Structure 1
Amino acid sequence: MRKFFALACLGSLLLLTAQAYAEEEDSDLPDWAEEEVEPFRARVGNWVDNTSRNIDAFFGGDRYNDTSTNESYLRLGQEIDWMEGEGVDGDISVRYRIDLPTTEERLRLVIESDPEESQGTLTEQGSGRLYNDQRDRRNSTFGLDWLEDRDKRENWSNRFGAGVRLRLPLDPYVRFTSERLWDIGDGPWQLESFNRLSWFNNDGYSARTEWDIGRPLSENRHLRFITNVQWREEEDTLEFSEIAEINQRLNKRSALRYSAIALGESASNPRMTNYYLQTRYRRDIHKGIMFADVIPELHFQREVSYDPRWAMTLRLEMYFQREISRDYFGR
């Protein structure tokens, strides 16, 4: 399996270079590979979807609705990561979410592999170069979320959750999330706020707020400025980041993101710990289910006296779900 994903990743990158601006089809794969991938994708995607719906029907009883929206997915990925002075790292990652939307009105049973609170410090999250479930594979959670029936464009949209992290000893948690979206005047600017307060028995409290202001620059380009502030009792340090980025769609299956990022910490004695520039090229190499990323970065880190260091990530992902999504650069 590891060799297969490594070879597929390298082969995909060759296709990226050759076809970035080529006339678009639905797939870069040769016919023989597509004939192998499609039946496998359909079987596994339907299995993921049907499994979650069957569980939901068991709990939901008469309230179960087979036509309801289902956000369950399984994602397999191969990532190769290199940082100057640190060598090469990489792994196969598996992430999943079982979403049971009809258990009760606005009550949702959720099983997921990688809760937001397990994503580490802002520095560790930073570039997103290494998946967080590669750092700790014991972060699966099982819980209930209660969602308010509100449009975040008109009111604060809140979500309350509680459950356990599935490792021994079991780690109970409580979580509150609130989101809001504003249109700024009559212009194209929008401001979005995401806020989360959590408590895990083993890790203590954590809090995070994100403010994202952006506007389209053209039909294919979008500008964003993102501010993050995070505190985790486990680290007992206030962290903050500032991000400026431009997202550009090259064609219907390729996109680029240009980012300038600054990371810092401490409230009493603020200091910057890392500045870096990042370009992320992402291509849909097969019908919205298989994606490849090339992510070069240039870092200026405080721990090495801000000497420039290069980094590079190559990534291949395959999604299994009933409904295909082409959200290239989601949260």
Structure 2
Amino acid sequence: MVSLLLSHGVLADERAVEKESDSDLPAWAVERLEPTRKSIGNWVDNTSRNIDGFFGTDESLRVENESYLRFGQEVDWMEGDGASGDLSLRFRLDLPTSEDRLRLVIESDPEESQGTLQEQGSGRLSNDQRDRRSSILGLNWLESRDKRENWSNRVGAGIRLRIPLDPYVRFTSERLWQLNEGPWQLESNNRLSWFNNSGYSARTRWDLGRPLDASKHLRFLTNIQWREEEDNLEYSETAELNHRINSRSALRYSAIALGESASNPRITNYYLQTRYRRDLHKGVLFADVIPELHFPREHSYDPRWAVTLRLEMYFQREIQKNYF
């Protein structure tokens, strides 16, 4: 599958020829795209700075702000299930000058609404499976600790913006270790949540990784998740190699095993995944091609192909080229 997507010739051309342009789009498309991007990006930036200024300080007009609005178009195909596609909208509101320890949070599509580990891990969660009313508004209390030296904790509370309103409480704890002063790093991220309408959920993520060279990074990830709504323990193990081909293209190779149940543990799916991501235009417009080969337990571990095609466009005043 990878050879069908990215032939050796294509990769060789990308390595050998670094384009002077930072866009793959024709001139007529750039002329239509840029005014819209700047207009919406300025609106996103001004809105976030005004909110930040209300809750924070006058510095909100001068400090760097990383708020963005993201539109996405996604098409999924799974062998035996056919194809589906939909539009998605996500946003991030950055409020850097709000109080050091008490920060307003406005977030779309929170982690608790993103489905099972299989859906999250593969990146193939269909938009119609997401709760479109999952945006939250709340406050986070942050400890002023460096997670490289101590456990860094934060407590949050607020409401999910839906009718009826859905109050929530969260506790998150993070830690980062440099192992034996070598290249390996171990990071732990843990979250306990309660939502009035869906009950408790808990998740822990352990990420062990190291750079192999200037363009490659190796990771091993362990995820464990439990949600009261389904009363089912899920876990996943992932081996992942990230390869930055050049300044505008990246590849990720992954091998994933997914399981469930604490009383009767079983593997529910094995799959191999390759993700090719391309910056089509100046850190604003991105394309993903994600082929997968699944071996699901419900189909007697017979192989099933899946492919996701995705376009994403980010709107913000200052272009950020960090969405790989």
TM-fit CA distance, 1:40 = 1.4
Amino acid at match of 2:81: E
Instruction: Tell whether 2:75 aligns with 1:80.
Output: yes
Give the match for residue 27 of structure 1.
23
TM-fit CA distance, 1:324 = 2.7
Question: Does the 8 A contact of 1:282 with 1:328 survive in 2?
Answer: no
Change over 3 Å in CA distance of 1:103–1:133 after alignment to 2: farther
For the residues of structure 2 that align with 1:193 and 1:264, how far apart are their CA atoms? 20
- What CA deviation, in whole Å up to 9, does each residue of 1:37-68 have, x standing for no partner? 122111111110110111222233x5553223
Using structure 1 for the length normalisation, give the TM-score. 0.90
Choose which of 241, 258, 273 in structure 2 pairs with 1:246: 241
Question: Does the 8 A contact of 1:119 with 1:132 survive in 2?
Answer: no
Choose which of 310, 314, 324 in structure 2 pairs with 1:319: 314
For the residues of structure 1 that align with 2:151 and 2:127, how far apart are their CA atoms? 29
TM-fit CA distance, 1:322 = 2.8
For the residues of structure 2 that align with 1:74 and 1:80, how far apart are their CA atoms? 20
Runs of 4+ in 1 over 6 A off after TM superposition: none
For the residues of structure 2 that align with 1:106 and 1:67, how far apart are their CA atoms? 20
For the residues of structure 1 that align with 2:144 and 2:44, how far apart are their CA atoms? 27
Amino acid at match of 1:31: A
Choose which of 183, 201, 211 in structure 1 pairs with 2:178: 183
Give the match for residue 289 of structure 2.
294
DSSP 3-state at the match of 1:154: coil
Per mean C-alpha deviation after superposition, the further-off stretch among 175-184 and 294-303 is 175-184
Amino acid at match of 2:202: A
Q: How does 1:111-190 map to 2 (within 5 A)?
A: 111-130=106-125, 135-190=130-185
Unaligned residue ranges in structure 2 (runs of 5+) = 1-5
TM-fit CA distance, 1:110 = 1.7
Change over 3 Å in CA distance of 1:159–1:122 after alignment to 2: same
Q: How does 1:171-250 map to 2 (within 5 A)?
A: 171-250=166-245
For the residues of structure 2 that align with 1:183 and 1:67, how far apart are their CA atoms? 34
Per mean C-alpha deviation after superposition, the further-off stretch among 280-289 and 142-151 is 142-151
DSSP 3-state at the match of 2:188: strand
Per mean C-alpha deviation after superposition, the further-off stretch among 28-37 and 318-327 is 318-327
TM-fit CA distance, 1:69 = 3.8
For the residues of structure 2 that align with 1:182 and 1:67, how far apart are their CA atoms? 34
Q: What's the Cα RMSD here? A: 1.8
Tell me the percent identity.
75
Instruction: Tell whether 2:47 aligns with 1:48.
Output: no
Question: Matched residue pairs, number?
Answer: 313
Question: Does the 8 A contact of 1:97 with 1:110 survive in 2?
Answer: no
Amino acid at match of 1:289: V
